[in-house]
Amino acid sequence: MPTTLKELAARAKVHPSTVSRVVNQDPSLRIGPTTRARIEALLRETEYRPNGVARGLKLRQTLVLAVVIPDITNPFFGALFRGIEDGAAPRGYQVLLCNTDGSPDRQRAHLHSLIARRVDGVILASSFLKDQAVRWLRHQRIPYALVNRFSDEGLDPFVGSDDVIGARLATQHLISSGHVRIGHLAGQSTVSTGVLRRRGFQMAMVESRLRAEPELQAEAGFVEDGGMRATERLMALQEPPTAVFAVTDMVAVGAYGVARRLGLRVPEDLAIVGYNDIPLAGRLIPGLTTVHVPIHEFGSAAARLVLEQIDSGQVTPKRVVYAPQLVIRGSTASGAEVLNAVNVASRGIGE
Amino acid sequence: MPTTLKELAARAKVHPSTVSRVVNQDPSLRIGPTTRARIEALLRETEYRPNGVARGLKLRQTLVLAVVIPDITNPFFGALFRGIEDGAAPRGYQVLLCNTDGSPDRQRAHLHSLIARRVDGVILASSFLKDQAVRWLRHQRIPYALVNRFSDEGLDPFVGSDDVIGARLATQHLISSGHVRIGHLAGQSTVSTGVLRRRGFQMAMVESRLRAEPELQAEAGFVEDGGMRATERLMALQEPPTAVFAVTDMVAVGAYGVARRLGLRVPEDLAIVGYNDIPLAGRLIPGLTTVHVPIHEFGSAAARLVLEQIDSGQVTPKRVVYAPQLVIRGSTASGAEVLNAVNVASRGIGE
DNA sequence: CTGAAAGCGCTTACAG
DNA sequence: CTGAAAGCGCTTACAG
């Protein structure tokens, strides 16, 4: 059993409250120098560390944040988690990680459990549109933030990027490369990123007087296997697309796999654009053209947003929205074109 | 503020202990049916959930496990975490995740903090050989387990695989493919996997009367950038290797990058073998021959090992060691060879 | 400068 | 069948 304040007090022949005061370096109280020295020696000797649970009960703070995501094996969420941890650690917070695998039930169960544990804040990256669990969370009066996906427009503290603009950039890039028949590997319509990125795709098409035909929009979910199935469907059409915009980089990875299996060259036979710019995107061959969003910063900003609410004692639906940036790589352009585009892109980022 | 037992008791006009009994469905006590009905209605109405912190203080259990790893963005640790979570969730546990980035200081700081929080158990996947922090942990009398890496042979509860055998398998495969000049992209000598996999490499070489020359063994750490640098060094030798065995798949990924940059074909100009069989290994082009270890099971077994100790109240240095399996893909063999090897491998796994 | 008390929100052995 | 008390390990306003 670890040492307690009471034991220490008995050994130092003082009252437990006195020991507590030197442990916490209580500024308002001056402790007698001999008493203090005696207690400090004991503290060092026993390597005393106050019981965090008892402290948490008394102080009403656990110094724990919780993160709820679909799946940590998805590289997007790995980077996001690191951002959150980096934002929370300087303040002494550690982070509980909960995976939902996209199940609303699991999400709800995790949230209930976290509230019962009295975590100081929750960061949710697995929310659905009009999500009952989010509405419930809202009423718990606990600091929280949604990341990447929102639930009901404008109602929640949120960190993310403008998905319509990002998707529009991606699609415009394909159009300006000369593509006319462009497919969309779409996200789920129950998730904001799915809906908004599809909207951005459609917007760009319409703006260029191209038709966003329904048969060219195939739901792919957000990960590789759905990306493969959706690409297979599109490429089996009478008149398959010459380019696809994928709702995420992982869906784009699925498209690479199918292209390879079908013997299609990327980008000559099929150009591909992704979304997020996960580290893997730059390692694919050819490199994946994608929409860069600052994933790590999503995380640290979300952590800060929650910490602000903890500090202020108020839940404020502040929103932090980053501008997405197109990053052009080999999956949409030949070598020479990529070099030019890189110059443009890096200039763009500097602005 | 969430509802408390005391408030509920006042509303139901009973003593808090009575409410507590129906919340916990106390089996030894029979509660009057009318009282019970009244309280249960109240519980549903208020959606009462006991304060986990207070409960934790009284019951001396937090229902929290902690996982300490180098970096969650490394796919190996993503899969490991999922295994741990899957092993812990059925028992009502949630999991704190701590990244060390390989820093002993951060590892130590995290462990101290976790102990102060009174987590019920710790799973450590970032340990070094003869690690002071591990020795300290051992003396805390808290359930724990090391995963993948061990620290002092045999002293700690451990889940992993036999790294010497795995590395030997990998190297023997290269030798039997006709390679003579074989390099090793080695892990750090401060980590058990680094030392043991190098030992397995050397063992296989010597057994085949080949020389394991020091100049052909380059320290690469465990991730991609180190893998790139080490591969560059080996390929710059007077007489570069025709094949390399990489201490991890991520290091092998670094080798792919350098091979590509140097215009070397894999496997014709440079054969590559990795270790771990992360999901990425099968997606590389060509597919990465590697040593398969059951990463997800490492996690769930470690969770079970810790839960066993929690149940028994004893820290027992039980060891769970899995046999590694060679998985042959395109990075060491032509198409026809791969097909044959797959058949052999799948038979091997069935045994 | 230090002690004694109260209380954070629970659970459970002990009474009755 | 239910109440009252003690206690988990802290912190801090209140005394002295």
Interval B257-310: pLDDT, tens: 999 999 999 999 999 999 999 999 999 999 999 999 999 999 999 999 999 999
B-interface mutation test, from A1, A53, A85, A98, most B Cβ less than 10 A away: A53
Supply B111's token pair: 């462990």
What average pLDDT does this structure show over B101-108? 97
**Interchain pair B2, A115: CB under 8 A:** yes
The DSSP bridge pattern shows strands B289-292 and B325-327 to be: antiparallel
The 10s digit of each residue's pLDDT in A265-276 is 999 999 999 999
**Interchain pair A97, B99: CB under 8 A:** no
Strand ranges inside B232-300, DSSP E = 243-246, 271-276, 289-292
pLDDT of A140 reads: 93
Tell me which of A115-124, A239-248, A334-343, B237-246 is least confident: A334-343
C-alpha span between A280 and B221 (Å, rounded): 20
- In which order are the strands placed within the sheet that holds B243-246? B217-219, B182-186, B243-246, B271-276, B289-292, B325-327
Topology classification of domain B163-293+325-350: Rossmann fold (3.40.50)
* In contact, B305 and B86? CB cutoff 8 Å: no
Q: pLDDT band for position A347 (50/70/90)?
A: very low
CA A114 to chain centre: 18
Phi and psi angles of residue B49, each rounded to the nearest 5 degrees, phi first: -135, 125
Which residues on A lie below 8 Å from B303 (Cβ)? Answer: none
pLDDT of A2 reads: 78
Angle in degrees, CA A109, B67, B75, rounded to 5: 90
pLDDT of A237 reads: 97
Per CATH, the homologous superfamily of domain A5-50 is lambda repressor-like DNA-binding domains (1.10.260.40)
Instruction: Estimate in Å the CA A57 to C1' D10 gap, whole number.
Output: 8
**Interchain pair A75, B75: CB under 8 A:** yes
C-alpha distance from residue B186 to each of A183, B175, B207 (Å): 45, 18, 19
- Which chain A residue shows the shortest CA-CA distance from B136? A47
C-alpha span between A7 and A138 (Å, rounded): 43
The 10s digit of each residue's pLDDT in B201-233 is 999 999 999 988 999 999 999 999 999 999 999
Supply B125's token pair: 């996947």
Which residues on B lie below 8 Å from A2 (Cβ)? Answer: 115, 140
Q: Does the structure show a pLDDT above 50 at B185?
A: yes
Q: Where does A158-283 have alpha helices with state H? A: 163-176, 192-207, 224-235, 249-261, 279-283
**Interchain pair B52, A118: CB under 8 A:** yes
Instruction: Give the closest of A52, A110, A257 to B117, CB-based.
Output: A52
What average pLDDT does this structure show over B71-97? 98
C-alpha span between A203 and A197 (Å, rounded): 10
**Interchain pair B94, A96: CB under 8 A:** yes
Which residues on A lie below 8 Å from B117 (Cβ)? Answer: 52-53, 63-64, 94
Amino acid residing at B279: P
**Interchain pair B52, A260: CB under 8 A:** no
Q: Does the structure show a pLDDT above 50 at A348?
A: no
CATH 3.40.50.20 fits A62-161+295-322, yes or no: no
Closest nucleotide (CA of A51 to C1')? D9
pLDDT of A342 reads: 47
What average pLDDT does this structure show over B125-139? 96
Percent of chain B with pLDDT over 90: 80
C-alpha distance from residue B261 to each of A95, A288, B250, B257 (Å): 40, 17, 17, 6
A·B CB contacts under 8 A: 109
C-alpha span between B304 and B85 (Å, rounded): 10
Instruction: Give the closest of B81, B96, B283 to A94, CB-based.
Output: B96
The 10s digit of each residue's pLDDT in A49-71 is 999 999 999 999 999 999 999 99
C-alpha span between B16 and B10 (Å, rounded): 8
Q: pLDDT band for position B52 (50/70/90)?
A: very high
**Interchain pair B52, A283: CB under 8 A:** no
Q: How far is A95 from chain B (nearest CA, A)?
A: 5
What is residue A25's DSSP assignment?
T
B-interface mutation test, from A24, A73, A91, A283, most B Cβ less than 10 A away: A73
What is residue A15's DSSP assignment?
-
Q: How far is A253 from chain B (nearest CA, A)?
A: 9
Three-state DSSP at B181 gives coil
C-alpha span between A18 and B109 (Å, rounded): 26
* In contact, A196 and A152? CB cutoff 8 Å: no
Q: pLDDT band for position B27 (50/70/90)?
A: low
Instruction: Estimate in Å the CA A21 to C1' D12 gap, whole number.
Output: 10
pLDDT of B347 reads: 39
C-alpha span between B254 and B6 (Å, rounded): 61
C-alpha span between A15 and A17 (Å, rounded): 5
pLDDT of A351 reads: 38
Per CATH, the homologous superfamily of domain B61-160+295-322 is Response regulator (3.40.50.2300)
Q: Per this entry, what is the length of chain A?
A: 351
Which residues on A lie below 8 Å from B57 (Cβ)? Answer: 51, 53-54, 57
**Interchain pair B50, A117: CB under 8 A:** no
C-alpha span between B30 and B28 (Å, rounded): 7
Domain boundaries along the sequence of chain A: 5-50, 62-161+295-322, 163-294+325-350
**Interchain pair B78, A73: CB under 8 A:** yes
Partner residues linked to A67 by β-bridges: A97, A123
Query: Taking the C1' atom of C6, which residue's CA lies nearest?
Result: A58
C-alpha span between B108 and B122 (Å, rounded): 13
* In contact, A259 and A285? CB cutoff 8 Å: no
C-alpha span between A224 and A280 (Å, rounded): 13
The 10s digit of each residue's pLDDT in A303-323 is 999 999 999 998 888 999 999
Supply A228's token pair: 């493969």
C-alpha span between B338 and B289 (Å, rounded): 10
Q: What is the DSSP string of B95-162?
A: EEEEE-TT-HHHHHHHHHHHHHHT-SEEEES---TT-HHHHHHHTTT--EEEESS-SSTTTS-EEEE-
Count other C-beta atoms under 10 Å from residue A175's C-beta: 17
What average pLDDT does this structure show over B88-101? 98
- Strand C nucleotides, any atom under 7 Å to a protein CB: 1-5, 7-13
The DSSP bridge pattern shows strands B319-322 and B158-161 to be: parallel
Supply B88's token pair: 């812990």
Q: pLDDT band for position A350 (50/70/90)?
A: very low
C-alpha span between B64 and A294 (Å, rounded): 31
C-alpha span between B310 and A252 (Å, rounded): 44
Q: pLDDT band for position B36 (50/70/90)?
A: confident
CB within 7 A of strand D (chain B, 51-90): 54, 57-58, 60
The DSSP bridge pattern shows strands B94-99 and A94-99 to be: antiparallel
**Interchain pair A56, B53: CB under 8 A:** yes
Q: pLDDT band for position A42 (50/70/90)?
A: confident
* In contact, B93 and B63? CB cutoff 8 Å: yes
B14 touches strand D (CB under 7 A): yes
What is residue B329's DSSP assignment?
-
**R_g of chain A, CA atoms, integer Å:** 26
Q: Does the structure show a pLDDT above 70 at A334?
A: no
Q: Does the structure show a pLDDT above 90 at A164?
A: yes
* In contact, B23 and B50? CB cutoff 8 Å: yes
pLDDT of A27 reads: 67
* In contact, B83 and B145? CB cutoff 8 Å: no
C-alpha span between A100 and A62 (Å, rounded): 23
* In contact, B141 and B292? CB cutoff 8 Å: no
Q: How far is A183 from chain B (nearest CA, A)?
A: 24
C-alpha distance from residue A301 to each of A159, A305, A324 (Å): 7, 6, 16
Three-state DSSP at B221 gives coil
What average pLDDT does this structure show over A106-125? 98
Which residues on B lie below 8 Å from A114 (Cβ)? Answer: 94
C-alpha span between A297 and A299 (Å, rounded): 5
Q: pLDDT band for position B38 (50/70/90)?
A: confident
pLDDT of B348 reads: 35
What average pLDDT does this structure show over A160-184? 97
* In contact, B137 and B145? CB cutoff 8 Å: no
Q: Does the structure show a pLDDT above 50 at B346?
A: no
Angle in degrees, 0-180, between the axes of helices A33-46 and A5-12, rounded to the nearest 10: 130
Same fold, B5-50 and B163-293+325-350: no
Instruction: Estimate in Å the CA B94 to C1' C12 gap, whole number.
Output: 26
The DSSP bridge pattern shows strands A243-246 and A182-186 to be: parallel
Topology classification of domain A163-294+325-350: Rossmann fold (3.40.50)
Q: How far is B212 from chain A (nearest CA, A)?
A: 32
Tell me the pLDDT of chain B averaged across its residues.
92
Query: Taking the C1' atom of C11, which residue's CA lies nearest?
Result: B58
Instruction: Estimate in Å the CA B35 to C1' C14 gap, whole number.
Output: 22
Q: pLDDT band for position B28 (50/70/90)?
A: low
- Strand D nucleotides, any atom under 7 Å to a protein CB: 1-5, 7-13
Q: pLDDT band for position A33 (50/70/90)?
A: confident
* Three-state SS letters, B3-62: CCHHHHHHHHCCCHHHHHHHHCCCCCCCCCHHHHHHHHHHHHHHCCCCCHHHHHHHHCCC
